[in-house]
Structure 1
């Protein structure tokens, strides 16, 4: 009977060569992780002797190397590389969950973000709160069709910051034009949007009433219809202390009798009064806009998808979420450069890129295979020599056994 040690040596080195060959074959596979066997020695007790005999070696399991590969630039918007820890979570057509480091994605005809195997990238399709992503129930297939059209939004908030000259003379009229010669630029004309999805121009003017007291006048500039019920015509007072800081910090409500206007909040809290300074405006913002269509989108390093619309609005339309495992080596490799979770790997944690140990996303890059070809070729030579040596050992022992059989 031939030596079990030599036979085991042939078998494990044959498997070792297959593992090395697979690594070499995937040296150019995006996101591929190399593998290596873990060998163990085998000993057995003889029934004819108390001595322990070596019976060769075996492979206990195969370790996957999850060290990061290099990121290469592709300048393609839907190519995503993960810096450090994390996996993309994808679903196949039957709803089975897989994980991958291959960030080659594209849009299908239904505007789902899918990988090259047609698996669906998961996350969320709307604005989000970071504190809500703590279980699998929050995940869904990312689909951008819901974001094709951004519905019009009537103005409900105006923020305006002004610098007012405390040295100009007070006026006794509410006419905002009366004080122009002395106050300089004390009028700001802005565009707001009503519920009819139409832009309208309003005027916000500042007139000094008393020392450290100013009157703010908000009026619509509708030349075709000047009736009170169809326009905006509100006034407010601002009080400043001796240092020019605003005392009254309440948010003013701009009201109109016409239902086509949203109730508008006017925020002037950053307005200041200064001496020897021309009236000017530091900042302006209003939150209304017309209907717009999605022109393009950008993926941030935290996985947030920002849509850019034809109405010049930029809004979050989705969020890519990553998965992370304490024991990724126990993930089961599957065809298509993906892994599935096992009992030993666990289901994994879900999180936002850049938070709680999750890696960041790098748009326009892909992670290359982490196979070291030089190392694999050396391992191939070693495995080949080991195989040849075990084969020679097998031949030698075979000759010895034949010699014993032929003894007369």
Structure 2
């Protein structure tokens, strides 16, 4: 017996306790991945040693490997928190311009509107095409910046959609004086709805729509004013017919082009008329009372950004003072051929190495990348119970190696004291 085996055991157990202590210390660190000590038997190279006669010279620490198993996900309710469920890493740009990666999605914004980590690294993502609303994944990810002074220009209304039911039991709007008893005319305002539409300067103009049942069976006339000197009875801006099932016909029902004066704009001259397509395909004629279910239009006045939030697919949605929410970017995720090869640099970050391979960027739920959960964070994947058991095992190994050294010392003392 020699001191070498026991001494190597002390060193290995000490290193193991360091790793276990590091894991336990980070059991509450967002996105932390536990490490494990890998041991290797040490053998002396002795040429010509007989089989079965060689004795090992102890143990060495072969590697400290990271365990990238999924951590638990805890809901926080914070609109800038986001957790990865599955494969992938958030992509970061460090202050020196180099790239890094993290699983910790506890982001925040600075006064300039940069989306950052707690340690000041910029979070990368894809800009969104203003026409299609899709992330531009054909270009490299860029830092996500959402300036607090960012504004949204006004948008004129081009589409209006009405969803309502017209009572199939309603009398013809003109009435019937010859009937017994006479049927009075139905006021034009009886079946109506209204909403605001917007001109080119973002000034709201009220749009009123009135529906009058015509003498033609299952047909209704559409008017935009109560003033019969402007729109006389029988001269509607549109008509809508229904089939025997109470649905609009023809199917699909073509949109109706309407022009409306921007009456609420005080400027002289006023902006051009508000020209929009009126969609009545969701209007029905059933034998129930008149009811307006929903009215929609796609215009809005100008607005300033009031805040941002991250949705489940990684889209960064900005809220504006005009009530509009618009996707301004989408977070990028990265995957690696060998995540075990990533080098940890502290502060919940890793950097790519030759062993990990290059980062492959993409969006959540594409390729091998996992899903995102907004308003939540991924917990550390440290199993405290297992770590405490491992710590007791490492302590016993350390004590046993120390006892082996003590025993060897006693043997040497006995030899030295021989007379």
Q: Normalised by the shorter chain, which TM-score bucket?
A: 0.7 to 0.9
1:302 and 1:73 mapped to 2: Cα distance?
16
Select which of 276, 299, 312 maps to 1:264: 276
**Alpha-carbon spacing, 1:98–1:393, altered in 2? closer, same or farther (3 Å):** same
Name the counterpart of 1:252.
256
Q: Is the Cα contact below 8 Å between 2:173 and 2:185 reproduced in 1? A: no
Name the counterpart of 2:206.
201
**In the TM superposition, what whole-angstrom CA distance separates every residue of 1:56-108 from its partner, at most 9, and x where no partner exists?**
22222222122333444544433333344432222101222212222222211
Q: Is the Cα contact below 8 Å between 2:201 and 2:271 reproduced in 1? A: no
For the pair 1:169 / 2:172, whether they are aligned, the reply is yes
Equivalent positions of 1:182-331 (< 5 A) are 185-207=190-212, 208=214, 210-218=216-224, 235-248=237-250, 249-255=253-259, 260-274=272-286, 276-325=287-336, 327-331=338-342
125-134 or 108-117, which moves further after superposition? Answer: 125-134
344-353 or 283-292, which moves further after superposition? Answer: 344-353
1:271 Cα offset (Å): 1.9
192-201 or 348-357, which moves further after superposition? Answer: 348-357
280-289 or 21-30, which moves further after superposition? Answer: 21-30
For the pair 1:14 / 2:14, whether they are aligned, the reply is yes
Q: Is the Cα contact below 8 Å between 1:2 and 1:401 reproduced in 2? A: no
1:339 and 1:266 mapped to 2: Cα distance?
54
Give the secondary structure class of the aligned counterpart of 2:8. helix
Q: Is the Cα contact below 8 Å between 1:169 and 1:182 reproduced in 2? A: no
2:392 and 2:164 mapped to 1: Cα distance?
77
Give the secondary structure class of the aligned counterpart of 1:15. helix
117-126 or 81-90, which moves further after superposition? Answer: 81-90
Indicate the RMSD between aligned Cα atoms, in angstroms: 3.6
Q: Is the Cα contact below 8 Å between 1:90 and 1:99 reproduced in 2? A: yes
For the pair 1:358 / 2:370, whether they are aligned, the reply is yes
**In the TM superposition, what whole-angstrom CA distance separates every residue of 1:190-219 from its partner, at most 9, and x where no partner exists?**
321111321112332333252233332345
**Alpha-carbon spacing, 1:234–1:43, altered in 2? closer, same or farther (3 Å):** farther
Give the secondary structure class of the aligned counterpart of 2:237. strand
Name the counterpart of 1:229.
none
Select which of 379, 401, 404 maps to 1:368: 379
1:3 Cα offset (Å): 5.4
2:339 and 2:239 mapped to 1: Cα distance?
64
Q: What runs of 5+ residues in structure 1 fail to find an aligned partner?
A: 173-178, 227-232
Give the secondary structure class of the aligned counterpart of 1:293. strand
Name the counterpart of 1:230.
none
| TM-score for the superposition, normalised by structure 1 | 0.81
**Alpha-carbon spacing, 1:244–1:78, altered in 2? closer, same or farther (3 Å):** closer
Name the counterpart of 1:33.
33
1:149 Cα offset (Å): 1.7
Count of matched residue positions in the alignment of Structure 1 and Structure 2: 389
1:294 and 1:42 mapped to 2: Cα distance?
64
1:329 and 1:132 mapped to 2: Cα distance?
30
**Alpha-carbon spacing, 1:386–1:272, altered in 2? closer, same or farther (3 Å):** closer
**Alpha-carbon spacing, 1:289–1:327, altered in 2? closer, same or farther (3 Å):** same
Q: Is the Cα contact below 8 Å between 2:80 and 2:309 reproduced in 1? A: no
1:185 Cα offset (Å): 2.5
Give the secondary structure class of the aligned counterpart of 1:215. strand
Name the counterpart of 2:265.
none
Name the counterpart of 2:64.
62
Q: What runs of 5+ residues in structure 2 fail to find an aligned partner?
A: 176-183, 262-269
Equivalent positions of 1:339-358 (< 5 A) are 339-353=350-364, 358=370
1:293 Cα offset (Å): 2.0
Give the secondary structure class of the aligned counterpart of 1:181. coil
